[in-house]
Amino acid sequence: MHLEDLIRPAVIHSGKEIAYANQAFCTLVGADTPANLTGRPLGPFIIEPDRTVLFESFEELRNGDAATFRHQLTLDCTDGTVCETIAVSAATAWDGEPKIRTVFLNISQPDRDTSATLGENAIDQAPVGITVADVTLDDEPLTYVNDGFRRITGYSRGEILGQNCRFLQGDATRDEPVAKMRAAIDAGQSVTVELRNYRKDGTEFWNRITLSPVESGDGTVTHYLGFQQNISEMKAHENELLLFETYAEQADSVLFITDADGAIQYVNPAFERITGYSAAEAIGQTPRILSSGNQDEAFYEEFWETITAGETWEAEIVNQTKTGERYETLQRVTPIEDDRGTIQYYVAFEKEITQKQLRSQVLDVLNRVLRHNVRNSVTVIDGYAELLASDSDDVDVQAVADNIREWAGTLESISERTATIRQLIRLLDSDEDPIGMPLSKTASTVERYRREYADAEIDLTIGDENSSAIMYGAIFEVALKELIENAIEHNDQPTPRIEIAIRAIEERNVAVVTVADNGPRIPRATWEIIKSGQETPMRHAEGIGLWVIYWSISTLGGTIELASNDPRGNKITVKSPLAESSD
């Protein structure tokens, strides 16, 4: 391209002497024609100390040590005024000889009220970034940026002009959109990409860039017009929407969204699975397709009064599937408002009352097992008492008395367990939010049992994750106490030894607790009875304690396993979910 085709001031020079200057440069420095500058030294037009630095760069360009240089410097312009410019220099050939081409980008701010057109003002003050890159110059530098681009990036004009736009890229900028832009520019085509860029202060933002080629009269692409839009907020919304959709699609609970009039707009797969209605059948309908008739009109009036007032509604209701089956659920409906406070959608989340069902099952089995054991014990006592009363000569009265005492002791032990059982029932039936039990708190529990059982040796090891906490801490503490008491009270050794180890595996969101003792082995048959919840008679009172342990942990969503503790005793391993971190 001929130098006169450049709209920016430019000169061809040897490093010191001007070989040619275009008319734009002549106008900038107050020369009449390019002929007036040919053969003149370039130095006097450049204010010191910028001149020394610039000429050192020219030397590197002549030697081939660099491809381009960019300097901010001051020119001695028309009528003794000075102009702040960005000088972009690169090696070139002129009349068959190696020369240097330097383009000057004027960054001095004119008085736009008098010198700028309405169109120029509109472009400069546009809410989006607008740039012009000169692809005829080496490294395709930016030669114009508007105020919008400066606001988006945080850089001044002097810091931007003369640079390739890649200076906004960083570690998180993906190669694919950059390569797409490069390919489009090489082909002289338009392109739009979205990529991560970085502001001057180092903060990251999402930039939607549209590049359009600008051609000269002969069809050659000379410039690229760029439009930059900060879409960080939109990207954040997209990420939030993606997270929501991922959660909704994978959730085990029913989730659906209605518009402001109550017409269903979206249902997740759990809705289809649990209600029997497909998405196609449900969308456009109202949630009344799930109505079982259990809720009366007064219920729905209160419901609509609450949510239309912008408040969240929560209640236990009975719904009905497509096939007529009823199911109990805890439903929460939350209004979604726009920026003006107008309700746009309602999000309904239904959670089957599985915890309540589990509590019901646990309490039912507990009631049956407890009644069965007490009933057996009382029956035996009654039977032996009857034998004593009959005063039969064939029965050893002392043996009968011993049996009575043993069974009475069993009954007493069972009755003592009722306090723990009642506590467990209260915890299971509580509607309060669960509070985690820090792993470190087990130390105080263990210390209490050390004082209470001075003849026992109780060792405690807590893993490194002392900040972790076990979900439903109050219920877990009941189980832990039962584990310790069971290991001590039913130990037949002169010195009961109990080893407790607790650690958190955060990547699996689980706490692992092992309690090992040196007492008699727990019969496998007894353990299987406890796991099955059957009412088969258990001879010893520890069965109730083991039952409390097993079902407490199961209710927490944990697991419990029994193994031998070589050379003697039992090792019980509990895995229980960790509470969510409060950080």
Q: Buried b vs exposed e over 352-373: b needs ≥16 C-beta within 10 Å?
A: beeeeeebeebbebbeebbeeb
Of 235, 266, 291, the residue at which a domain comes to its end is: 235
CATH of the domain at 508: 3.30.565.10
- Asked whether residue 300 falls in the same domain as residue 202, the answer is no
Kindly list the distances between the CA atom of residue 376 and the CA atoms of 238, 411, 520, 537, in Å, as whole numbers in the listed order. 64, 9, 24, 8
**Cβ–Cβ < 8 Å for 562, 527:** yes
- Is residue 377 included in any domain, yes or no? no
Across 27-36, 59-68, 135-144, 277-286, the highest mean pLDDT is recorded for: 277-286
- Asked whether residue 518 falls in the same domain as residue 426, the answer is yes
- Asked whether residue 430 falls in the same domain as residue 520, the answer is yes
Reported as a pLDDT band with limits 50, 70 and 90, residue 577 is: confident
Using one digit for the tens of pLDDT, what is the confidence trace for 332-383?
998 988 778 889 889 998 876 655 555 555 555 555 555 566 666 666 666 6
In degrees rounded to 5, what are phi and psi of residue 113? Answer: -65, -25
The overall average pLDDT reported for the chain is 80
- Is residue 67 included in any domain, yes or no? yes
CB-CB neighbours of 538 under 10 Å: 22
Query: Whole-angstrom Cα distance, residue 21 to residue 103?
Result: 10
- Partners of 347 in beta bridges: 257, 334
Q: Which of the two residues, 226 and 474, has the higher pLDDT score?
A: 226
Distance of CA 17 to the CA centre of its chain: 62
- Is residue 44 included in any domain, yes or no? yes
- Is residue 308 included in any domain, yes or no? yes
Using one digit for the tens of pLDDT, what is the confidence trace for 295-327?
888 898 999 999 999 899 998 888 888 988 888
Kindly list the distances between the CA atom of residue 40 and the CA atoms of 16, 37, 74, 275, in Å, as whole numbers in the listed order. 9, 5, 18, 88
* Structural domain count, the chain: 4
- Asked whether residue 92 falls in the same domain as residue 178, the answer is no
Q: Which of the two residues, 471 and 281, has the higher pLDDT score?
A: 281
- Asked whether residue 292 falls in the same domain as residue 340, the answer is yes
**Among the listed residues 59, 62, 229, 72, the one whose alpha carbon sits nearest the alpha carbon of residue 141:** 72
DSSP structure string for 191-210:
EEEEEEEE-TTS-EEEEEEE
What interhelical angle do 397-428 and 354-390 show, nearest 10? Answer: 160
- Is residue 199 included in any domain, yes or no? yes
- Asked whether residue 425 falls in the same domain as residue 573, the answer is yes
Using one digit for the tens of pLDDT, what is the confidence trace for 16-47?
899 999 888 888 888 888 888 999 999 889 88
- Asked whether residue 495 falls in the same domain as residue 434, the answer is yes
Percentage of the residues of the chain whose pLDDT score is greater than 90: 24
Of 352, 375, 395, the residue at which a domain comes to its end is: 352
CATH of the domain at 206: 3.30.450.20
**Cβ–Cβ < 8 Å for 295, 317:** yes
Spatial strand order in the sheet of 254-259? 264-267, 254-259, 343-352, 326-337, 313-320
Percentage of the residues of the chain whose pLDDT score is greater than 70: 75
- Partners of 501 in beta bridges: 461, 514
DSSP structure string for 120-182:
HHHHHT-SSEEEEEETTSTT--EEEE-HHHHHHH---HHHHTTS-GGGG--TT--HHHHHHHH
- Asked whether residue 484 falls in the same domain as residue 573, the answer is yes
Q: Which of 183-187, 252-256, 264-268, 497-501 has the lowest mean pLDDT?
A: 252-256
- Asked whether residue 118 falls in the same domain as residue 102, the answer is no
- Peptide linkage before 567 cis (omega within 30 of 0): yes
In degrees rounded to 5, what are phi and psi of residue 210? Answer: -120, 125
Q: Answer whether residue 112 shows pLDDT above 50.
A: no
Please tell me the predicted confidence (pLDDT) of residue 494.
92
Distance of CA 521 to the CA centre of its chain: 47
- Is residue 401 included in any domain, yes or no? no
- Asked whether residue 431 falls in the same domain as residue 563, the answer is yes
- For 331-344, the three-class secondary structure string (H helix, E strand, C coil) is EEEEEEECCCCCEE
Using one digit for the tens of pLDDT, what is the confidence trace for 259-302?
999 999 999 998 998 899 999 999 999 999 998 888 888 898 99
Q: Which of 161-175, 393-407, 521-535 has the lowest mean pLDDT?
A: 393-407
Query: Whole-angstrom Cα distance, residue 262 to residue 249?
Result: 21
Across 92-101, 179-188, 215-224, the highest mean pLDDT is recorded for: 179-188
**Among the listed residues 148, 134, 77, 63, the one whose alpha carbon sits nearest the alpha carbon of residue 106:** 77
- Asked whether residue 257 falls in the same domain as residue 305, the answer is yes
Its domain, for residue 23, covers 3-106
- Is residue 476 included in any domain, yes or no? yes
pTM of the model: 0.43
Kindly list the distances between the CA atom of residue 452 and the CA atoms of 158, 198, 459, 464, 528, in Å, as whole numbers in the listed order. 78, 64, 15, 28, 31
Using one digit for the tens of pLDDT, what is the confidence trace for 538-558?
444 445 667 777 777 777 778
